[in-house]
Structure 1
């Protein structure tokens, strides 16, 4: 089929269904996101593949993944859907008000470190722009970015398929730290990891990169995660709990920096070499938003400011 005829028959609903399934990796989740039935999504995908004359998705019991042709098509389909949604959002706005909203997705640990100063500076630059902040694990953040649910992400690199069509700009790399309250029995000492694990631990949530490094570090010392460990991605909950208890917090090192400076918390001298991970700005490679550009510039400034010295 010639391109002209094909472009005249493929509709936005085909692209929406394809993008949703390719991003969610499952027809059921894509159907829920689109507020459609699974049979309706399946029918639309079948129509698209028939029009395209090629298989775009491998579907089976274990989910759905784009084929090689599907991956090539996905980049273009995402741009079309995102551009359409942006155009509709602009039409729905009130002309002449200058009001807008930017949606920032962030890892909880990075949000607590970077966003307070960035939001203040962003308001100075764009006082009429509203901000929505969404914190989640990295996998969810990248899916939200690809789906157009957030405009920019403070997160980590992922596998090539997930990062396709996205750009990553490094802000900094940080290792884990073992942190306790001031006055803790271990404060001011050089405890072994085994001695630390005699106290309750607070660690990052299951499936996160910091949690993976925590598990690897403990296994390096022949220790499994102790019973009674608190598992959370909520930085505020973890910090408050550690400040008021004898728990030991295993956390990316920038997160407790202010509490350490203000002597509410103390870092234990534990070797965490090999646990460093990069944090960066992730955004669509083809995006051209001045507000997102400004956010990226502010993130660079804050990341490389006094906290990094």
Structure 2
């Protein structure tokens, strides 16, 4: 339990004395007197019930209890400074852009609504949204080129160093243009897949293993005419102009289906369901604008799942 007697000045003074290994130097940097520094350290030790510094000849050194506390005190100060900075940046519009990697499943379905809600917050923040294959976006997140990836949960071996927040689940569907011949196939619709070109997710995409397992489980080991793509704009245009079949996450074409421009083929693909959510670096602390954007994404996802 956190003792409410510990104040910001206790942490700041303790960390500075530990860094300088000197009460005199710490006092100079903090612009207070040496007795004030000593008094603050004594107050902290009274709260902790242990000594955090001890004499070492004519100087001082940190104790093992002090070493244990230092890591957490430093992290707390860093978090507070980041919090102050994020508010300051939001107020003065001088923050770096919030960089979001959005997989196709949320780019057309979740992110537009989330951005609309975010803009209503009247936060002076620049937003950069990029799309691409999951492996590429996760690598950009890992090296700090992105702050957040929104989409399907990646494979376990790709999630080292990341934290995932589940928002909802969705499945893969097979969709075609309105008026496609397969919509009249009846019970034999699945067996007719090999008559038409099929747009498949690429091998690096998250949903590819789900699709392959589904096809094999239903007796299809291969399709004669395949086009691999993660481009939703190409897929949407090609399927609406031809008799091709598009195997894609339901979220990518949700609006097209709601508008009647595309149709889902009538067979059960529920076994391809997978979690969709927010992926961040485990050691990251969201800025205020990013936290607000994540909140709006959660809100839209909640409404989507309830619809």
Provide the TM-score with structure 2 as the length reference: 0.65
Could you tell me which of 106, 111, 116 is aligned with 1:115? 111
Check if 1:182 corresponds to 2:181.
no
| Residue pairs, 1:129-168, within 5 angstroms | 129-158=125-154, 162-168=158-164
Higher Cα Rg: structure 1 or 2? 2
Rounded to whole Å, the distance in 1 between the matches of 2:197 and 2:232 is 17
The answer to whether the 8 Å contact 1:114/1:303 transfers is yes
- Aligned twin of 1:291: 289
Q: Distance in 1 between matches of 2:250 and 2:90?
A: 45
**Poorly superposed stretches of 4+, deviation over 6 Å:** 93-96
Residues 153 and 274, structure 2, Cα contact 8 Å, conserved in 1: no
Partner Cα distance (2:252, 2:225) in 1: 23
Name the residue aligned to 2:190.
Answer: 193
- 2:226 — aligned with what? 229
State the alpha-carbon separation in 2 of the partners of residues 105 and 175 from structure 1: 20
Name the count of aligned residue pairs.
228
Q: Distance in 2 between matches of 1:207 and 1:219?
A: 19
**Offset at residue 306 of structure 1 (A):** 4.5
Question: C-alpha distance in 2, partners of 1:206/1:99?
Answer: 40
Please state if 1:301 is matched with 2:296. Answer: no
Instruction: Provide the C-alpha distance between the structure 2 equivalents of 1:95 and 1:180, rounded to a whole number of angstroms.
Output: 44
Q: Secondary structure at the match of 1:167?
A: strand
In the TM superposition, residue 95 of structure 1 has moved relative to its aligned partner by: 11
Give, in angstroms, the shift of residue 139 of structure 1: 2.0
Q: How does 1:8-157 map to 2 (within 5 A)?
A: 97-100=92-95, 101-157=97-153
Tell me by how many angstroms 1:197 deviates: 2.4
Give the aligned CA root-mean-square deviation in angstroms: 3.2
Work out whether residues 188 and 268 of structure 1, in 8 Å CA contact, stay in contact via their aligned partners in 2. Answer: no
Quote how far apart the aligned CAs of 1:196 are.
Answer: 2.2
Structure 2 Cα separation of the partners of residues 197 and 293 of structure 1: 46
Distance change (3 Å), C-alpha of 1:99 and 1:187:
farther
Mark the runs of 5 or more structure 1 residues left unpaired by the alignment: 1-6, 8-75
Whether the aligned pair in 2 keeps the contact of 1:105 and 1:134 (CA below 8 Å) is: yes
Unaligned runs of 5+ in 2: 1-18, 20-70
- TM-score, normalised via structure 1 length: 0.65
Question: Does 1:249 find its partner at 2:226?
Answer: no
Q: SS of the residue aligned with 2:195?
A: coil
